Structure 1
């Protein structure tokens, strides 16, 4: 096994020592004990990834929740003494002897519309991350590999037809004004996320990066943002069945035309360990003015269904006007359709709770008059 360069090892040891003296509550700090650190600090993957490549974002950002990224697919194996306990804890129990089930997208028509009780859900999206075999992840991608990978994905996107058909454009072809407009509409990713930048995900920007949009902007594919690909299906309202159907058809076609990185144990492999397994994040933007004032009840209800609550501008953002982004937290150890159903059941429970609170508030106002 290749060993880390002595100077690089000295830097890693110094940064690790400083980090362990911070007030971080990240899973990185919790699980990268001195024993684990000493065991894996010398290792280097065949692509050249070191432990430092995997943890440098967490070292630079002690306020990270996770603090850990895989620099290539082999990182999950070579640094498993660190990755395995982080994966186990984040995904709610997935031990080192467990394996991810085979894909099962199920029947999208079973999911229906989440807004049966009223127009609480403003928009719905289902997305997944995909990595292309033969390429490392962001920290190790060369400038040429970024460009080559973009071309591979662009060719595959030409197979999307009918309601899935659209156009791919490189970021360098899109004006700053149009990029800002797409950002405001939550259609485009942006540079500047400090967690990703520290992880080495923003090098050579905007080279090799771009966006595919179908003709009615309900299918989006991001190229070389955090992962090689982000495939996103979305629309206004709460009809999760329609959104998921479009997503499944697009993912199936792209998977038929590109070799996706996966492992028998961890399912689809991604840059961040939170996106392993199905790699699916099904989410809604939902207006909850009453539960929004009772954040503990909202969080407790979401937790029962393994849901994550955050602001509408993504992780680490605040909710505005009591509009929340709520999504499934578990992606590993369950099938795609199981992840979707867990999310749907949780959202329905939250809507019912908000509805009951509205009725109680209305009755209180009547009685006060």
Structure 2
């Protein structure tokens, strides 16, 4: 994608986001206009992406950084949209606590609202078209931040649990990052061959089992 294409895409997406209402209504913040201290704080609070993934860098994902990129969020920062991070858009619903149903409901309603102004790239065979092939299908990653210090000290056992329950364990700040105090980002591994709701259920059931095992150690 050229610099001009990315800027045009940012304009289209930010324009569509302006039409959101209710709990999804918010503001779009271009990275080019963001103060460095504000950017760092958003990153530390797990709201904003960075440009330090070596794989994405080698693929040209950070070309012309930070032009054409930004973040949209509502007032409570429970609904966010990343613009031109890895994919054209990453739509996020998040909140503290374990009310997964509310998080999922907010996400689906937000996607449907955005979909009234934009058309998402979709294939009857592969599902939603994404930059990374591992996200093809539903393209949905449901995750929780989970502190599991005992399992963290037994990486082989943690890997076995993730494989058995179709989970993926990432570092606190995403892929290729550390897990201080045994805190991991645990998500569903599968995106393809199941529905969005099934993916969310798979994650929730696997995490419940992981917590049970952690308590038994």
Common topology (TM > 0.5): yes
2:54 paired residue number: 194
| 1:44-83 to 2 correspondences below 5 Å | none
Per-residue displacement from partner, 1:208-255 (whole Å, max 9, x unpaired)? Answer: 111101010111101011010000111112211111111111111112
1:210 paired residue number: 70
Structure 2: runs of 5 or more not aligned: none
Q: Provide the secondary structure at the position in 2 that maps to 1:196.
A: helix
1:50 paired residue number: none
Q: Provide the secondary structure at the position in 2 that maps to 1:257.
A: coil
| 1:51-200 to 2 correspondences below 5 Å | 141-200=1-60
1:315 paired residue number: 175
Q: How many residues in Structure 1 have an aligned counterpart in Structure 2?
A: 217
Per-residue displacement from partner, 1:60-91 (whole Å, max 9, x unpaired)? Answer: xxxxxxxxxxxxxxxxxxxxxxxxxxxxxxxx
- Between the aligned partners of 1:353 and 1:216, the Cα distance in structure 2 is 34
| 1:324-335 to 2 correspondences below 5 Å | 324-335=184-195
Per-residue displacement from partner, 1:238-285 (whole Å, max 9, x unpaired)? Answer: 211111111111111112211111111100000110111000001111
Per-residue displacement from partner, 1:177-210 (whole Å, max 9, x unpaired)? Answer: 1100111001111123221111011111111111
Alpha carbons of structure 1 residues 345 and 289: separation in structure 2 relative to 1, 3 Å: same
1:356 is displaced (CA, Å) by: 2.4
1:222 paired residue number: 82
- Between the aligned partners of 2:6 and 2:86, the Cα distance in structure 1 is 12
Larger radius of gyration: 1
1:256 maps to which of 87, 93, 116: 116
| TM-score (structure 1 length as normaliser) | 0.58
- Between the aligned partners of 2:3 and 2:64, the Cα distance in structure 1 is 6
Is 1:297 aligned to residue 157 of structure 2? yes
Structure 1: runs of 5 or more not aligned: 1-140, 358-369
Per-residue displacement from partner, 1:307-359 (whole Å, max 9, x unpaired)? Answer: 011211111112110111111110011110111111111001111112223xx
- Between the aligned partners of 1:353 and 1:204, the Cα distance in structure 2 is 46
1:271 paired residue number: 131
2:91 paired residue number: 231
- Between the aligned partners of 2:191 and 2:56, the Cα distance in structure 1 is 21
1:296 is displaced (CA, Å) by: 2.0
Higher relative contact order (CA 8 A, sep 6+): 1
- Between the aligned partners of 1:173 and 1:350, the Cα distance in structure 2 is 42
2:196 paired residue number: 336
Q: Provide the secondary structure at the position in 2 that maps to 1:280.
A: coil
Q: Provide the secondary structure at the position in 2 that maps to 1:211.
A: strand
| TM-score (structure 2 length as normaliser) | 0.97
- Between the aligned partners of 1:293 and 1:317, the Cα distance in structure 2 is 16
